[in-house]
Every structure is written in C-alpha cells, then in structure tokens.
Amino acid sequence: MKILIINGSAHKGNTWKLVKQSKHYLMKLNNEIEFDEVHLFEENLPFCIGCSNCFRVGHEKCPHYSVVGEIIKKIENADGIIFASTTYNMRETALLKNLFDHLCFMLHRPYFFRSKALIITTTGGVGGRAAAKSIRSTLKGIGFNRCYIFSKPTFSWNAYEPNNRVLKALHKRVNKFYRDVNSKKLHSPDVSLLIPYNLFRGMSLAYVPGTEYETKDGVYWTEECRRKTVYAPEVNVSFYKKPVGWLFYEIGKIAGNMKGMAVTYRK
C-alpha cells in the first residue's frame, strides 16, 4: 500500500505532530506501507496566473506543469493521501489553496475517482473544522471517493502535546481510513456531488470540438465512457440517485445553450 502525505503547512509544527502519529499508527497496521511526502513549501509552486490553459487546452499546458504534473502523478499512484494543513484565518493555508487553485480544472473534469483522503488540521482554538471541510469540499469536487477528517484545537503556537483522548480519537480515525483504503471499495457518491458533476456534463456539450468556443471540457464530457453514466463509470451509483443525475444533466444542457451563457475567451 502506498500512502502519500501532502504537507500544506510551511513548517513541521503542531499539525505535523498529528501526521507523525498517524504514520506511526499506519505502520503498526501494516509495516509494508510505502510512504511518500510532498512538502508544499519546498515545491516552490508559483501562484496560478489565471491563464486558463488548463480549462481550455489541457492542464499539461499549465506554465507550472513541471511541479503540478508531478504532484498529480503522485496522488494518482497513491492508495491513500493524507492532507495536512494548519488553520490560517479559519481556512487551509495559502500553500494548500495554491495547489488547489492549480487543480481547479478538475472541478470541471473530475479525475481522482479512486482516491481516498485523511485530512488533518490543527487550529489555535477555532476554525479547524471549517478548514478541514474546505479541503474536503475541494477534494470531493475533483473526484475523491472518501475523505476522513481529523481536526483538533491545540491552544498552542508550537508546543502542542496531544493528550491521550486526542491520540485515541486519532487512532480510531486512522484505523477507519486504513480499512477503507485497504478494502479498495468505491462508495456511491452523494447527491450533492452528482449535481455539479451532471451540470458540467450537460453544460460542457456547448464547448465540444467544432463549436465556437471549444474547450478541453467539451472533449472530456463527450468521451464515450462518460456519455451514458451519471458518474465515473468505475463508481457504482445507487439506483435511486441516478434520476437526480439525469435531471441535472438535462438542466445543464439547457443552461449551456442559453443566450448570454456562453463562456468566451480571447482567440
């Protein structure tokens, strides 16, 4: 099993203590786990410059692809991913947000359908859960199948010592994450995910090759494997959720063709 750790904090502080502990619990569950770490502060990923190449012509054309492309490959090759972030101003760090900005094209063309995450945040007192939920909402949007959250207030700048209660709760969460990753089971998506997925599926038909403002989205959504299903073909969708997907697909098609709705770009 391969576990990738993406450290969104600019140092190894309170949050990293929980990550190290999680690593320890994981190794106790399976001593053959291969760990890999990405420390975003070492990656020197520039800010997204808003060229929109990723949306229009493909993410390989991102001026920062040499960094982003490598991280995408690492996420893709991992069985489970731990995202760690300090809470800054009630949200994830700018380092992690910057990575997510570079992955925004996947909100249009979700990708990581087999990925499962454990999100670890710490906060001084408040906002840690909001930060974790913000991370989860991005990960779910880009396709992640399951996200587990562990968030704790530390009441400390850099001298956090998790007590036994916290360690016990972390152990339980790590166990759950591990068992799910190990099962390789892909869970049926929530309806709240089927709505944006199918809106994009319908709306993007206005941007297929040959249309005035063709984009990579238009190519993605007309690929045979995506045309007839309300979610990624490899993920089973509960039968009662499927009509919701189809309904929003039809709404998306109408919205995509409505006057004044076309998303233009300078040619």
Ligand X SMILES: Cc1cc2nc3c(=O)[nH]c(=O)nc-3n(C[C@H](O)[C@H](O)[C@H](O)COP(=O)(O)O)c2cc1C
Residue 2 or 129 with smaller CB distance to ligand X? 129
Write out the H or E segment, with its range, that includes residue 3: strand 2-7
Minimum gap (Å) between residue 100 Cβ and ligand X: 18
Residue 153 or 189 with smaller CB distance to ligand X? 153
Yes or no: say if 221 and 204 are a contact pair by the CB < 8 Å rule: yes
Minimum gap (Å) between residue 19 Cβ and ligand X: 9
3-state secondary structure of 184: coil
Minimum gap (Å) between residue 265 Cβ and ligand X: 36
**Nearest-CB residue for ligand X:** 13
Minimum gap (Å) between residue 182 Cβ and ligand X: 28
SS (H, E, C) 9-51: CCCCCHHHHHHHHHHHHHHHHCCCCEEEEEEHHHHCCCCCCCC
Residue 81 and residue 78: Cα distance in Å, rounded? 7
Cα–Cα distance list, 61 to 51, 102, 130 (Å): 10, 12, 33
Residues that bind ligand X (CB under 6 A): 9, 13-16, 86-90, 122-127, 154, 156-158, 160
Minimum gap (Å) between residue 4 Cβ and ligand X: 19
Residue 22 or 122 with smaller CB distance to ligand X? 122
3-state secondary structure of 232: coil
Residue 115 or 122 with smaller CB distance to ligand X? 122
Residue 126 or 169 with smaller CB distance to ligand X? 126
Residue 83 and residue 89: Cα distance in Å, rounded? 18
